Amino acid sequence: MLVDTYGRVATDLRVSLTDKCNLRCSYCMPPEGLEWLPGPDLLTDDELVRLVSVAVGLGVTEVRFTGGEPLLRRGLVSIVERVGALSPRPRMQVTTNGIGLAKVAPALAAAGLDRVNVSLDTLDRERFVTLARRDRLVDVLAGLAGAADAGLTPVKVNAVLMRGVNDDEAAPLLRWALGEGYHLRFIEQMPLDAQHGWDRATMVTAEEILASLQAEFDLTPVGEQERGSDPAEEWVVDGGPGKVGVIASVTRPFCGSCDRVRLTADGQLRNCLFAREESDLRGAMRAGASDEELGARMRASLLAKLPGHGIDDPGFLQPTRPMSAIGG
Ligand code: SF4
């Protein structure tokens, strides 16, 4: 199994399929985009499926495809199909910005995808353009509806609030999500942006998000036992059935029950979102390593996993690799 020295077992593999994206969210990358990973460094579909298969053999039961924007990966549907054919079959999810999802959702569902998380930070078209630097709100909303129609449910929506930008939208977003039957979770902004401009003072905290929601909704906490290793703390809204979640990575870290490990699009294994070291699986694989040797590298990486992200540590250093090349 992929166990670390704190007894945490990694069963949830996040696979970044590309570092490219068709949005330019201000809390993630500059308007001009980034220098993308070189093509030859990217894992081929065969290499990617092989590494996932090795991880499934080591106890991974959940696979989440991320990016950049995973829907930009040409072979996405076939990758889902092939990973779905692994035994034991892992549960499969995609975290996407929703653009193009309306079109591909039926094929993803037919390929065996279980459900989706869609990122959406505002319902205001102008504000969307300011935040994402593209006029694509309509496409994101169509993507959400398309995912629900295709049965990729529960459809989860991830929203990041920024002070003075969209922090007045907590309650409107929740009202909308409840009306649509989507499961909304707010995520505290993390120091993972390419510009290294994250500032704790401007981050909207879980406390603040809850305070704005409680002004309009009656929230009842869902018990810890139900939470398990889910990063989101959950509340039942107005007696249910709707719920809302908050992923408070910074102010209420959940590293103690972390079950996640990440594979980047260029074949590097990261034992933590904030890892400062990576294990080069691509290099080993292309040098002829066997599945056993790749598995041993994965296990070694987990054994080196730190207790947590260390954001509050005086010596904290943001990873050099930006979020867009790590994946959610
Ligand atoms: S910061 Fe690292 S250890 Fe903490 S929950 Fe995220 S991936 Fe796990």
| pLDDT tens digits along 117-142 | 999 999 999 999 999 999 999 999 99
Please tell me the pTM assigned to this model: 0.96
Does 248 contact ligand 1 (Cβ within 6 A)?
no
Between the CA of 239 and the centroid of ligand 1 the distance, in Å, is 31
pLDDT for 229 equals: 76
- Tens of pLDDT, residues 286-314: 999 999 999 999 999 999 999 999 999 99
Written in H, E and C, the secondary structure of 209-274 is: HHHHHHCCCCEEECCHHHHCCCCCEEEEECCCCCEEEEECCCCCCCHHHCCEEEECCCCEEECCCC
Does 272 contact ligand 1 (Cβ within 6 A)?
yes
Does 273 contact ligand 1 (Cβ within 6 A)?
yes
> Confidence band (pLDDT; 50, 70, 90) for 172?
very high
Strand-by-strand arrangement of the 233-237 sheet:
219-221, 233-237, 243-247, 183-187, 156-160, 115-119, 91-96, 62-66, 12-16, 260-263, 268-270, 279-280
> Confidence band (pLDDT; 50, 70, 90) for 328?
confident
Domains of the chain: 12-326 (3.20.20.70)
